[in-house]
Amino acid sequence: MKQRIQSIILPLLILFLAMGCTNADQSNLSKKWKKVYPGVWKNDSRKSPTYDLLSSSGSSPKTEILKTFKNSAFPLSKNEIEISQKNGKTYLSFPLERKEQIYGLGLNFKTVKRRGQIFRLHVDHYNGVDNGRNHAPVPFFVSSKGYGVLINAARYIDVYVGTGVRKNAKNPAVVKDRNMDPTWEPMPYSDNIEIIVPESGVDVILFAGDNMMEVVQKFNLYCGGGFIPPKWGLGFWHRTPTMYNQKKVTEEINNFKKKKFPLDVIGLEPGWHSKAYPCTFEWDSTRFPTPKQFTQKLLKKDHIRLNLWCNPYLWPGSDLDKKMEPYTGSHTVWNGTIPDYTIPEAQKVFQNHIKKHQLDLGISGFKIDEVDGLDRWLWPDYATFPSGLDGEQMRQTYGTLLMKTTNDAYRSKNERTYGLIRAANAGSVSYPYVIYNDYYNHKDFITALINSSFSGVLWTPEVRASKTSEEWVRRMQSVCFAPIAMLNAWANGTKPWSYPEVYEACQEVAFLRMQLLPYIYSTFAQYYLKGTPPFRAMELVDHQIKGGIKVSKKLDDTENPYAETASKDLKDQYMMGDYILVAPMFEGQKKREVLLPKGRWFDFYTGKLVGEGGKITVQCGLDKIPLFIKDGAIIPMIPKIRQTSEWTLETPITVRVYGNKSGSFELYNDDGSSLNYEKGDYSLIKLKRDGTSTSTEIINNGKWQPKHISWEFVTK
Amino acid sequence: MKQRIQSIILPLLILFLAMGCTNADQSNLSKKWKKVYPGVWKNDSRKSPTYDLLSSSGSSPKTEILKTFKNSAFPLSKNEIEISQKNGKTYLSFPLERKEQIYGLGLNFKTVKRRGQIFRLHVDHYNGVDNGRNHAPVPFFVSSKGYGVLINAARYIDVYVGTGVRKNAKNPAVVKDRNMDPTWEPMPYSDNIEIIVPESGVDVILFAGDNMMEVVQKFNLYCGGGFIPPKWGLGFWHRTPTMYNQKKVTEEINNFKKKKFPLDVIGLEPGWHSKAYPCTFEWDSTRFPTPKQFTQKLLKKDHIRLNLWCNPYLWPGSDLDKKMEPYTGSHTVWNGTIPDYTIPEAQKVFQNHIKKHQLDLGISGFKIDEVDGLDRWLWPDYATFPSGLDGEQMRQTYGTLLMKTTNDAYRSKNERTYGLIRAANAGSVSYPYVIYNDYYNHKDFITALINSSFSGVLWTPEVRASKTSEEWVRRMQSVCFAPIAMLNAWANGTKPWSYPEVYEACQEVAFLRMQLLPYIYSTFAQYYLKGTPPFRAMELVDHQIKGGIKVSKKLDDTENPYAETASKDLKDQYMMGDYILVAPMFEGQKKREVLLPKGRWFDFYTGKLVGEGGKITVQCGLDKIPLFIKDGAIIPMIPKIRQTSEWTLETPITVRVYGNKSGSFELYNDDGSSLNYEKGDYSLIKLKRDGTSTSTEIINNGKWQPKHISWEFVTK
């Protein structure tokens, strides 16, 4: 009977629905932009909220800060934006102009400019190709015109950045005969950026500002804003070999002291677990018989913090797994169960366990491995989870869920943590984690650092091993100008002094990082207070910088059968904070080119003028990393200290001044380890320079003001 | 008012529908296997037929031949097969046994065995990784257990071949501690092959047989069966440089004659079009002022056939484009319009044009380029076509549509064609096209040839250029043991004699191919009559052949951080027909290993016994390609002729006999160029050998029986 009713009425109902849906879905979908903040508009075409990137992170916009921006005009012609739905997918199209360039769309390693590329944004371990599979495939792009778009969907998203050409294009390309016309191009002009989201309706946020930096700030703030790491997190990190025990780690710490190398954090690798791959999250009783004693001794006597490796897949039958069981997914990873951390009870189970076994002992944080890929390690897309989420949704957000869950545990103790993670996405910007991976191309590592600034994530080009001492010191130099300065000796057992002929240079740069702590810390404060990424692509500080030149490439029937030209991205130099242009040297290089933004630039070490916009050639010995300083730079530094515990209010600050330009810098300070700063418990001191005069001004309160500030004019 | 009705009634209707859908979709989906032929079952869970791979090709099963197979038991436990639907996708799961190996799933270039791999089957130009993106990502897999599964869907399909591990797996893996257990494996045992099809319901066909070869035969026959190429197609092909004109081509043909090198087909590259990229499909009046005269002279005087390069994107405003306009898609490729060849009118427009401009002049076929990828050349997935198909559906089937459309044009003239294509899929097996590409790794080329045999497609490892004369002759040797023996000089202008020191060896192997024409032709007849692929993976002829050995690989924190072992595929040797084992040498090799199937094997050139199953080491000078012959082989050969036009009923056949085993071979012949064989107008002569006696027997009719047959016992 039921079937008869269905077979008669169903078609009628479907007809009626289809009529309704057609009208309701299509009408003015692309016109519904609702202004939510100055220069921020939202267009949500979903019938009701779904699991998305922002909801997965639990973040909320930094409303008060966003309101301080001035208004912007809607950056595009609304008529040229298309948003439509068909067969359970949403199609979006945004117009592009001829000279417009696009950035962002995740943690790519080989390219910075996006136009002409196609991505399928899919969390995965990077595999050598910028195709959308990477650790943070954030669906946010920024335009050189001064706007950005966030597609807030926890799905695999296809993005065609100026590749598709419509038959009826508004800006059609000129047809050319490849036989006879040498100007024939393999990629005709495309006037749109188009996106496919495999969901019915999607939440889109559009940002506009005076320049790309403002757009990125608004994006970061909308997604929760940046964070301030604990001070100890900005010291040097050393990860010990996997099977090290308490004794070996103690020796290691003593060696760092004897050899006079900075050290704030020791990273323990899988061997601290009683079982790993999958993990118990319990100390191995042979290798770490007295974990609490050990951790406390490191904290109190050696001023060393411990960061523990883990992957989130639970050893079946372990204590944690037994409690977690009702909240785990349909599949296993390395035979370990997969907790569904969208479920509050699952979060609590995990937090209770790690508090009991790790946090309460004094453990300072985690390195959360293997939340990215590969497809063959992790759960398949058809896996299911008790919350109802599927494998794809979980894949796109698992890193974010782990960051949130672990960070909340520290938060509940009013403690900051700082750790490592292998996957992130939109919404995770406020979580104190830095991305790393198993890849190792030094140049590509720097490109990733550059790209991180467009996507609201942080990246570290960790050092692990090297073929030569030249390579070793160059990598050490780079990593000391990154969010986490780290040597990861999990497999190789390397030490900073493994290459004696360059040890002194390694020490130099590690101590230089320590000297720059006040500057770096204040830079991170900008991340929290204004959404400004601490490490920046050149285009974010000078969007007119001419980074790319087209390089003609010969026709080759295998390598280049379409005679494509190669566009040279500016992908080997970046800004650390407002003033320091970092131009790392790579193994084999005797000299390198540096592209200076507009204005005058000075050598960090000598204070001398090196150029004023445009290209310079730099020669730099192994003992230094090329650093160039913006005119008017004000860089607060401390003496060479080995550990951040030595950095107190008493520590004298020398403020280095470069060039001639007047300006100011906001020196930030706080207690360095609690979350009290979120309630306003911090100091902002404005360091001002006007010609040859200098002054300081307390912006909010002087509680954390350094006691001794002196100035040094480096440029004579 | 309408909106109010909708907002009240819609939810009720949705509820009602959902109730109905839940019951109708899920019940017994996986149990509905309908037997359609002996050892062939069908499970179609779609509500109504959709565009799929088989419908796109217009093929029908070879019913009469399929009925001749004996019955097989259903090869799996029906309870262990899962087929379910959710959110517009269909999920399928098939059980795997421990020792079971999987093959197929398209034209991969680096691996043969599939277990442990994940594919997203997506037509594209191969890009160096076996991840599902290739020229023929056929969703058909074969199991060593003797069954196969075809997923007949024109969509991007995800296949997890024994990678996902369910928490409640029937065959759970043993949990191991990576810290302490050296037997820890990065890929725990997975007991299923799982598939995601992005459509609601899917047509699945399951095949079973005595062995993998039977399964492949049934698959090929179900998809329309193989084809017999025109005799001229099995001669030597030479593609001339892009901008060659009538005069230069004529010179080239004369040079082949002077230098005594086989030549049946000349390939003209883009320069014959008046405009290319996109194409006019009209002769350029400067380079080819008298195309009909030219073509006829080549045919009649030089016995040369012409094959014309094209890509299917139409020059806007050309004659063809003007007629095609109503049938073209939303986007352009190289500014050319994209015809929707699912529309009969579009097919007719194209066929009328190419008949008028090419076929009626005597042109013998096409090389259909750029129907595979890249994503940035071709239309995006969100493109739409007048038939209602979307970009994804068109992408998966465009090669098939072009093959069908062009082949039908020849068919209407009762002519065979033989051509080249860059994309194919399930359903295209009966179309006379061979795949080629811009890749060039010689070893990978052989692996592709091997994999083609599991997927109902053909592949040629064309020669283009070389760095050394050794590389040149080795490539020439390989390509002469492939479906099309071709030198493609479109970019480099190479000739067979470009490397003088190896020219004689090149001549030898090219003439050897000509000598083997009756054997090769008869082998193709098996393709048509029985669905047996002409070029075969070793596992198809001896499924017990132990082709792989696990190679332990060292832990490396960058290259191999999970200490994965590498499984060695048998991927550098294959069978041409029933008897000839081809083991190509690669540049730099002085010797190589060959894995002989069970039974005795003999050297082709000397007739001597080389081994009996197992591995042998072979040393082979540049002058020969290693060839090994099965015991009891019966190989009909003709004298060294330069062109297939010299091969007539008068041409003496020498039947070579190897080893001692008794047996028979079906020598096939017909008129070599029309489709009359489809009506039974062919001869099958059984060549029989019993000890030292030989005989011939007419199987169906003697019309095309060669007049002179003699025997040669090569093994003394």
Q: Does B42 touch chain A (CB under 8 A)?
A: no
Q: Does B271 touch chain A (CB under 8 A)?
A: yes
Edge to edge, the sheet with strand B653-657 lists B634-637, B653-657, B709-713
Helix (H, G, I), strand (E, B) or coil at A188: coil
Report which of B209, B233, B227 is spatially closest to residue B219, judged by C-alpha positions: B209
Domain count, chain A: 5
pLDDT for residue A29 is more than 70:
no
Q: Is residue A247 part of a domain?
A: no
**Nearest residue in chain A measured CA to CA from B9:** A17
* Predicted pLDDT of residue B12: 59
Q: How confident is the model at residue B23 (pLDDT cuts 50, 70, 90)?
A: very low
Domain span holding position B678: 634-713
Contact A179 B379 (CB under 8 A): no
Q: Does A1 touch chain B (CB under 8 A)?
A: no
* Distance separating alpha carbons of residues A536 and A212, to the nearest angstrom: 11
Contact A179 B242 (CB under 8 A): yes
Write down the mean pLDDT value for chain B. Answer: 94
Q: Of B277, B311, B324, B442, which to mutate for an interface test with A (greatest number of A Cβ within 10 Å)? A: B277
Ranking A455-459, B254-258, B531-535, B610-614 by mean pLDDT, the lowest is B610-614
pLDDT for residue A549 is more than 90:
no
* Predicted pLDDT of residue A554: 79
Q: Does B464 touch chain A (CB under 8 A)?
A: yes
* Higher per-residue pLDDT: B19 or A46: A46
Q: How many CA atoms lie within 13 A of B170 on its CB side?
A: 10
* Predicted pLDDT of residue B27: 43
Hey, which residues 304-323 in chain A have their CB within 8 Å of chain B? 315-316
* Residues B698 and B691 sit within 8 Å (Cβ to Cβ): no
Q: Are residues B64 and B209 in the same domain?
A: yes
Write down the mean pLDDT value for chain A. Answer: 94
User: Which residue, of A597, A630, A663, is where some domain finishes?
Assistant: A630
Q: How confident is the model at residue B564 (pLDDT cuts 50, 70, 90)?
A: confident
Hey, which residues 200-259 in chain B have their CB within 8 Å of chain A? 242-243
Report which of B321, B312, B296 is spatially closest to residue B422, judged by C-alpha positions: B312
* Predicted pLDDT of residue B20: 44
Query: Would you tell me how many other CB atoms lie within 10 Å of the CB of residue B344?
Result: 10
* Predicted pLDDT of residue A544: 75
Task: Give contacts of A28 with chain B, Cβ < 8 Å.
Answer: none
pLDDT for residue B149 is more than 50:
yes
pLDDT for residue A25 is more than 50:
no
Contact A188 B16 (CB under 8 A): no
pLDDT for residue A51 is more than 80:
yes
Average pLDDT over residues A625-636: 98
Average pLDDT over residues A309-331: 98
pLDDT digits (tens, 9 = 90+) for B55-87: 999 999 999 999 999 999 999 999 999 999 998
Average pLDDT over residues A549-574: 80
Q: Is residue A58 part of a domain?
A: yes
Q: Is residue B180 part of a domain?
A: yes
- DSSP code per residue over A62-123: -HHHHTTSPP----S-GGG-EEEEETTEEEEEEE--TT--EEESS--SS-S--TTEEEEEEE
Q: Of B89, B124, B165, B553, which to mutate for an interface test with A (greatest number of A Cβ within 10 Å)? A: B165
Average pLDDT over residues A37-55: 97
CB-nearest partner of B167 from A117, A315, A330:
A330
pLDDT for residue A659 is more than 90:
yes
* Predicted pLDDT of residue A171: 80
* Residues A234 and A480 sit within 8 Å (Cβ to Cβ): no
Q: Are residues A186 and A45 in the same domain?
A: yes
Q: Are residues B639 and B614 in the same domain?
A: no
Q: Is residue A456 part of a domain?
A: no
pLDDT for residue A10 is more than 70:
no
* Higher per-residue pLDDT: B548 or B234: B234
Helix (H, G, I), strand (E, B) or coil at B578: coil
Listed in sequence order, the residues at least 6 apart from A60 whose beta carbon sits closer than 8 Å to its beta carbon are A224
* Predicted pLDDT of residue B544: 75
* Predicted pLDDT of residue B25: 43
Based on its alpha-carbon atoms, the radius of gyration of chain A, rounded to whole angstroms, reads 26
* Higher per-residue pLDDT: B326 or A542: B326
Q: At what angle do helices B2-26 and A2-26 cross, to 10 degrees?
A: 130
pLDDT for residue A69 is more than 90:
yes
Task: Give contacts of B179 with chain A, Cβ < 8 Å.
Answer: 242-243, 270-271, 273, 275-277, 284
Q: Are residues B284 and B395 in the same domain?
A: yes
Q: Is residue B229 part of a domain?
A: no
pLDDT digits (tens, 9 = 90+) for A590-610: 999 999 999 999 999 999 999
Nearest-Cα distance to chain A for B371, in Å, is 15
Q: How many CA atoms lie within 13 A of A424 on its CB side?
A: 29
* Distance separating alpha carbons of residues A365 and A416, to the nearest angstrom: 9
Average pLDDT over residues B248-271: 98
pLDDT for residue B124 is more than 70:
yes
Average pLDDT over residues B585-611: 96
Give the angle A635-A641-A642 at the CA atoms, nearest 5°: 130
**CATH code of the domain containing A619:** 2.60.40.1180
Q: Are residues B49 and B179 in the same domain?
A: yes
* Torsions phi, psi for A35 (to 5 deg): -75, 125
* Predicted pLDDT of residue A126: 98
Helix (H, G, I), strand (E, B) or coil at B49: coil
Q: Are residues B622 and B656 in the same domain?
A: no
Q: How confident is the model at residue B237 (pLDDT cuts 50, 70, 90)?
A: very high
* Predicted pLDDT of residue A552: 64
* Predicted pLDDT of residue A20: 45
Q: Judging by DSSP bridges, how do beta strands A157-161 and B305-310 pair with one another?
A: unpaired
Q: How confident is the model at residue A27 (pLDDT cuts 50, 70, 90)?
A: very low
Q: How confident is the model at residue B14 (pLDDT cuts 50, 70, 90)?
A: low
Ranking A310-314, B412-416, B550-554 by mean pLDDT, the lowest is B550-554
Q: How confident is the model at residue B568 (pLDDT cuts 50, 70, 90)?
A: confident
Q: Are residues B626 and B641 in the same domain?
A: no
* Distance separating alpha carbons of residues A206 and A147, to the nearest angstrom: 7
* Distance separating alpha carbons of residues A568 and B358, to the nearest angstrom: 44
ipTM of predicted assembly, 2 dp = 0.92
Q: Are residues B11 and B43 in the same domain?
A: no
* Predicted pLDDT of residue B7: 62
* Higher per-residue pLDDT: B467 or A15: B467
Average pLDDT over residues A139-156: 98
- How is residue B313 written in tokens? 């994107």
Hey, which residues 491-520 in chain B have their CB within 8 Å of chain A? 491-492
User: Which of A15-24, B27-36, B591-600 ranks highest by mean pLDDT?
Assistant: B591-600
Nearest-Cα distance to chain A for B102, in Å, is 16
Q: Does A88 touch chain B (CB under 8 A)?
A: yes
**CATH code of the domain containing B96:** 2.60.40.1760
- How is residue B318 written in tokens? 């050309």
Look at the block and give the residue holding tokens 């599949």.
A331
pTM above 0.80, yes or no: yes
pLDDT for residue B22 is more than 50:
no
How would you label B621-636 residue by residue, b for 16+ Cβ within 10 Å and e otherwise? ebebbbbbbbbbbbbb
* Residues A456 and A220 sit within 8 Å (Cβ to Cβ): yes
Average pLDDT over residues A40-58: 97
Q: Are residues B617 and B659 in the same domain?
A: no
Task: Give contacts of B336 with chain A, Cβ < 8 Å.
Answer: 175
Percentage of chain B beyond pLDDT 70 is 94
User: Which residue, of A391, A417, A443, is where some domain finishes?
Assistant: A417
Q: Are residues A47 and A87 in the same domain?
A: yes
User: Which residue, of B386, B402, B417, is where some domain finishes?
Assistant: B417
Q: Are residues B84 and B2 in the same domain?
A: no
Average pLDDT over residues B528-541: 97
* Predicted pLDDT of residue B562: 84
Query: Dmax over Cα atoms in chain A, in whole Å?
Result: 95
pLDDT for residue B198 is more than 50:
yes
**Nearest residue in chain A measured CA to CA from B119:** A375
* Predicted pLDDT of residue B353: 98
- DSSP code per residue over A371-428: SS--TTTS--TT-B-TTS-BHHHHHHHHHHHHHHHHHHHHHTTTB---EEES---TT-
* Predicted pLDDT of residue B282: 98
pLDDT digits (tens, 9 = 90+) for B418-464: 999 999 999 999 999 999 999 999 999 999 999 999 999 999 999 99
> Is B573 exposed, middle or buried (CB count within 10 Å of its CB: 0-12, 13-18, 19+)?
buried
* Torsions phi, psi for B643 (to 5 deg): -135, 150
Average pLDDT over residues B629-656: 98
* Predicted pLDDT of residue A687: 98
* Distance separating alpha carbons of residues B332 and B351, to the nearest angstrom: 21
pLDDT digits (tens, 9 = 90+) for A73-94: 999 999 999 999 998 999 999 9
Report which of B362, B418, B392, B450 is spatially closest to residue B237, judged by C-alpha positions: B418
pLDDT for residue A294 is more than 70:
yes
Average pLDDT over residues B491-504: 96
* Predicted pLDDT of residue A94: 97
Helix (H, G, I), strand (E, B) or coil at B601: strand
* Distance separating alpha carbons of residues B147 and B162, to the nearest angstrom: 16
Q: How confident is the model at residue A566 (pLDDT cuts 50, 70, 90)?
A: low
* Distance separating alpha carbons of residues B524 and B115, to the nearest angstrom: 30
* Distance separating alpha carbons of residues A192 and A160, to the nearest angstrom: 8
* Distance separating alpha carbons of residues A96 and A90, to the nearest angstrom: 19
Nearest-Cα distance to chain B for A308, in Å, is 15
Q: Are residues A554 and A695 in the same domain?
A: no
* Predicted pLDDT of residue B13: 57
Q: Is residue B369 part of a domain?
A: yes
pLDDT for residue A23 is more than 60:
no
Give the angle B31-B37-B40 at the CA atoms, nearest 5°: 50
Q: Is residue B183 part of a domain?
A: yes
**CATH code of the domain containing B327:** 3.20.20.80
Q: Is residue B378 part of a domain?
A: yes
Task: Give contacts of A335 with chain B, Cβ < 8 Å.
Answer: 165, 172-176, 188
- How is residue B674 written in tokens? 């029309």
Task: Give contacts of B271 with chain A, Cβ < 8 Å.
Answer: 179
pLDDT for residue B489 is more than 50:
yes
Task: Give contacts of A245 with chain B, Cβ < 8 Å.
Answer: none
3-state secondary structure B426-462: CCCCCCCEEECCCCCCHHHHHHHHHHHHHHCCCECCC
DSSP H or E stretch at residue A292: helix A291-300
**Nearest residue in chain B measured CA to CA from A116:** B376
